[in-house]
Structure 1
């Protein structure tokens, strides 16, 4: 389906709001000086709209010494380059997802192709418990969960360093009044392209016992392989991770 865009002014407003108000950076910014917050917002906002790389944005924040024919750049935040990269990554992710959501909303409704939202997590060994459980979950246009109980909360990024994406949950061709079958598509994974419908839990079932133990931890992996818990059970009803002790108390009490 063809997706309509949204106005530049509206996207600019989304960018400005998402930079500081978007989780998970909101609490961090609440402790910072207003001047640093204002400057950071401007640098990231401009970098995002101009398509700058993370490294280019970070350099403007922490600065760099003159080298060769490259002039010195004076930074304005007293933080490590690593911390700055993390801040920039999360802020840009928040802004990018916020901009996408505006496009999805503009294409929803009775005549639009978007009927809700879904999360796509990364299929590899670095994905967190939160995003393992949230992978391929869907919500309606009112952000109510569909076929599961995990809350939307603030959406992506769901944690520092989050790589997950918010995508539109599209109507099928027949829901749009077109009597044709859906086109088979794929998604990326650690192993290469896999069916687009594959979620993290199903993907993990196809990995070795050693990989599963390393990813989940031996205790949780054992509960999961025995069918005592599912990937959804790794989180509570508020979307927060549960410890092994909590999982045993809930699902495998003595």
Structure 2
């Protein structure tokens, strides 16, 4: 395999690890929202609203709305703080991970891992915008959306004369066979009429976790590339093509930019590390050729030493873009069996071998999560 294609393969593997990490983070945050749903349910049942519409009932409704607002604000504050800490750790781990992946493809430690201060980590996370706003602002917005939805649903239900059970269904979600009504199931398994406002809160939170993790990791990757600019010749967009790839990512796949982000052979501006919510694409570094680096290595004993470690095949194929489209299935099929088992987990691997695992389930890493420390160990 040529060096550019090996770099792409290694970075796809790193991207899958990121998806496994964000799957674990989504679960942790979902569990917090599950508990929030239970707390709101307890408050609703104990609020004493099952009385005729009177001033007393309206006072109880206002008290319940205030209690819910405080609990929602507290929960989302905890989520935001935990998420911030995770994202700062992710910057450090992910920037090291891409350096490890690229050096492995080169057969030499040409790239150096960035060193981060706590101030730099906080700045990168705080400055990474998701649809124009940092993730902390999005958590505040989601808390307000849930607070408003809870109050509106409560008010509308009481005006209709609904029972406490009916109010509970509107807020928390209907009890369905085999489904925990406060969130322990894929939303796609629950019909729209069975979803309460907590279901929608969970959906919004999961989308934010995924997009923010991939966006912030992408910014960390760019920081690692910029720290090794003497090795680089430019950048290339990589979308692992499959049925879930969006039209914008299909259009961007394979496009290149120089080190100053000027388009090469096209007029698409660089969209940033992600092109849309839930984006799985990433930016590939295009390295200089071995000959270019060898000429520039005079006076740089470390680089010269590492260049000497590279074999003839790596020297000859280093530099330039990757060699064409690549599907996720095609990439996965080319992996060693041990790596396939690691990505899918033992049970899903057996299902894949027997032909019982759908492609969507291969891409979804919800059942095979990684913690930040596990990701750190893989990136060392």
Q: TM-score, normalised by structure 2?
A: 0.34
Could you say which structure has the higher strand fraction? 1
Report which of the two structures shows the higher radius of gyration computed on alpha carbons: 2
